[in-house]
Amino acid sequence: MFCDAGPSVFLELAKIPAIRSICLWLSSRPVHDSLTTEPYNAPSLEQLTLMGAPAGLTRLLVPLRAAALTSLELTLITNVPGGWHECDVACMRAAANAVSPASLRTITLDLGAYWGSVELMTVLQPLLQLPTITRFELRMLSLASRPSLTMTEDGFARIAEAWVHIEVLNIVGSWGPAAPTPSAIVLLYFWKSCPRLRQLSLPYLNLDVEPELLTDRLPAKPSSHGLKRLYIYSDLFVRPRSTLDSNRTREWASYVLRLFTFLESTSDPHMILDSPWRNVTQEMWFMRSARDGRADA
């Protein structure tokens, strides 16, 4: 770990053939204009962890060519209020262009320092051009700054269609108080497009959907999808939420189990389920136990 280091330190390290992993906290000091803008290769670099302001990280990433990189972790630190800005988008573009689409497997983004609302598709758009991603994690959770995410259901469909090889997808955060909350219908998109998915963690998903929509979109029979862990996080913002009656609770439990027959866990030890999802998961395990009991009889 090289704390408070300048970009020139990274340039020198990246060129050393023996170095396969770099973890750098980019200096907050101004970046000198003498920093090279010519492309440079990091031929052996496989793991890269960077922390710093988006503008500084962008200057570092734009000339980088890391064809062997398999894992990228970025922590974006900003004191600019108002959420996602053009400099942040530029940083995501630079990161996507610095790596080989055929090599990168893991992306981790930490946006916990953000103050406002972030449109999730704006963050992900440059990264969706990397088709071999198997693990993606985004953390945007800070009670002090109350950051929030926004996302449409169609946006989830685009993620699922772009990352068909994804095995772990974790998005930890909370939807903004003024934005519509995506519904649990989005689970269907991952069932359809991501057969290798084994862990899915998402912010709160709305269960206020008409039962007819659930029935129409269910697969004809229980699927063979191998998802093992499904975590739906609590909503940090207080907003009106309908209470599910017993029929709707059973319908949602049946919907989730029909999609993901082999679920083993729906509760992360670090999370607290909102009441509707708590009732649904309890009903799921009751239905699972009853089904297994009939199979053993």
Residue 142 above 60 pLDDT? no
How much is the pLDDT for 118?
79
Output the CA angle 65-30-40, nearest 5 degrees: 15
Give the sheet arrangement for strand 2-5, strand by strand. Answer: 2-5, 21-26, 47-52, 71-76, 106-110, 135-139, 168-172, 199-202, 229-232
pLDDT of residue 1: 45
Rounded Cα gap, residues 192 and 131, in angstroms? 16
Measured CA angle at 35 (ends 51, 40), to 5 deg: 80
Q: What pLDDT score does 40 carry?
A: 85
Kindly tell me if the per-residue pLDDT of 274 is higher than 60: yes
Sequence ranges of the domains in the chain: 1-115, 151-297
Q: Which residues is 24 bridged to in the sheet?
A: 2, 50
Residues ≥6 apart with Cβ < 8 Å to 281: 253, 266, 267, 273
What are 151-160's pLDDT values in tens digits? 999 999 999 9
- Check pLDDT > 60 for residue 231: yes
R_g over Cα of the chain: 21
Given a cut of 50, whether residue 242 has pLDDT beyond it is yes
pLDDT digits 0-9 by tens, 63-81: 999 999 999 999 988 766 5
Is residue 266 within 8 A of residue 281, CB to CB? The reply is yes
